[in-house]
Structure formats: structure tokens, C-alpha cells
Amino acid sequence: MKAIKQFTCKSCGHKEAKWLGRCPECNTWNSFVESEPEIAEPGRRSSHRKAESEHIPVPITSIHVEEEQRYDSAIEELNRVLGGGIMKGASILIGGEPGIGKSTLMLKLAHELKAPGRVLYVSGES
Ligand SMILES: [Zn+2]
């Protein structure tokens, strides 16, 4: 998480995201000092110390990764390059030279895709 700086006027307490030479509220010069940002979002930790402890390095083997839902494209090679199928909600760009078979592959996919719902095939040229 990126630390967000905040500047507060020593004179009136006005807050700004960046340092200003003169306070727009009370017109005092050189009154801004860097202060701890207030995190207004509910559920977020307000303590700086707690936020730091959430970023302690852990061994990669202890990280639990949830498997996302994937749909079988019914094309073994395509499933393989997509990491095991088409991930739900994913946008995938199919690129290649003209005549390489992109449209053929996508029509085959549209026909054989093992997923609920219907297929919308949209094609364009430039
Ligand atoms: Zn002020």
C-alpha cells in the first residue's frame, strides 16, 4: 500500500494533499506541516503500526491461492495457453498474422465452449 501524505495547517487545522506555502482557509504563510493521513474508509486499519505488520514477508509456499473458475474451451491447446481454460470474467486478446486462423479458432471455440449461457461473436477489421 502506498503511503499517502497529508499536510495540515498548524494555524487552523485545514488539510491538503500537497504542501502549500499559504493556507487557503486562514491565509497563514508557511503553516503547513506533514501529518498522518486519516483513513476514512470503514474496515481499514487506522493504526500505522498495524498496516506495517500486514506487509511482513512470508514464504511463497505459505501463500494460499484460490483457484478461479475456468471454462473448458474444448480446445486442449487453447486451454493450456490460458492456464487451464477461460477464466470467468476474463478478457482475452487473440492476436496474430492475417490468415493464421484466429477467426476459425474463435468460431470453433464459440461452437464447442463448455460454459453456461450463449456466445456473442463480434469481429472487426481495420
Ligand atoms: Zn490555515
| Chain center to CA of 112 | 31
Q: Where are the beta strands (DSSP E) in 3-121?
A: 6-9, 15-16, 32-35, 70-71, 86-87
Say whether both 74 and 49 belong to one domain.
no
For 10-27, write each residue's pLDDT tens digit: 999 999 888 899 999 999
Compute the distance from residue 37 Cα to the ligand 1 centre, in Å.
17
For 45-80, write each residue's pLDDT tens digit: 545 555 556 778 888 888 877 778 889 999 999 999
Compute the distance from residue 73 Cα to the ligand 1 centre, in Å.
62
- Structural domain range at position 45: 6-53
Compute the distance from residue 38 Cα to the ligand 1 centre, in Å.
18
Q: How many domains would you assign to the chain?
A: 2
- Taking the model in full, what pTM does it have? 0.44
Say whether both 49 and 78 belong to one domain.
no
Compute the distance from residue 39 Cα to the ligand 1 centre, in Å.
21
Say if 125 falls within a structural domain: no
Say if 102 falls within a structural domain: yes
Say whether both 79 and 106 belong to one domain.
yes
